[in-house]
């Protein structure tokens, strides 16, 4: 397993060791002790989620705040997405900065996203199955988000904006300045 910390402190890209033979392949997508050793603290995932989305669907940018903030371990089971993470930790040197990474069933990469970050993705393949573990339960009153095309954040989603498919809820999310000014 190869683990790389991104420029967003506490956010890690995980590339599992993949074993191929005549039957197919095998890899560990999660191993608690290894993950905790890498991130430097205990994590207790309590909820697993999956979404199935068609090409052009953009989900995000989502987060939960306060006592209900969630750390996540995300991966793509089928297809390809551009995954986006935004640092919302006000005391962080990278507050307001973001990172993007391609996640796919081909590269098998995972991303550990610490609490205090917004997260979203856009589906690039015909369909994608996106899976993620959370260390806190979904709590609707703590749910927040940022509009995906916020000019302050300047995220290049690598997908034509006119072809993006958004939920009504995600289309009505506030800007970064509306949340933090």
20 is catalytic: no
Burial 147-168 (b: 16+ CB within 10 A, else e): bbebeebebebebeeeebebee
Catalytic choice (7, 20, 41, 62): 62
Q: Which two tokens stand for residue 126?
A: 């015909």
Q: Compute the chain's Rg from CA coordinates.
A: 16
Q: How far apart are CA 59 and CA 53, in angstroms?
A: 9
Q: How far apart are CA 16 and CA 19, in angstroms?
A: 10
Q: How far apart are CA 58 and CA 158, in angstroms?
A: 11
Q: Which two tokens stand for residue 29?
A: 């997508």
- DSSP letter at 160 equals -
Report cis status (omega within 30 of 0) of the bond before 61: yes
Catalytic choice (7, 20, 98, 132): 132
132 is catalytic: yes
Catalytically active residues are 62, 132
């Amino acid at each position: 397993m190869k683990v790389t910390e991104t420029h967003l402190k506490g956010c890690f890209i995980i590339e599992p060791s993949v074993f191929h033979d005549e039957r197919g392949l095998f890899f560990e997508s999660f191993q608690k002790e290894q993950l905790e050793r890498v991130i430097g603290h205990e994590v207790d995932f309590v909820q697993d989620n999956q979404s199935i989305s068609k090409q052009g669907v953009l989900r995000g940018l989502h987060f939960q705040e306060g006592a209900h903030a969630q750390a996540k371990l995300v991966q793509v089971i089928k297809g390809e997405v551009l995954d986006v993470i935004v640092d919302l930790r006000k005391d962080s040197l990278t507050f307001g900065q973001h990172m993007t990474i391609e996640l796919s069933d081909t590269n098998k990469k995972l991303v550990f996203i610490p609490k205090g970050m917004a997260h979203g993705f856009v589906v690039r393949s015909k369909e994608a199955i996106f899976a993620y573990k959370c260390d806190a339960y979904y709590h609707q009153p703590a749910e927040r988000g940022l509009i995906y095309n916020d000019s302050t954040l300047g995220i290049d989603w690598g997908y034509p904006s006119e072809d993006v498919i958004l939920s009504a809820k995600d289309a009505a999310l506030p800007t970064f300045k509306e949340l933090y000014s």
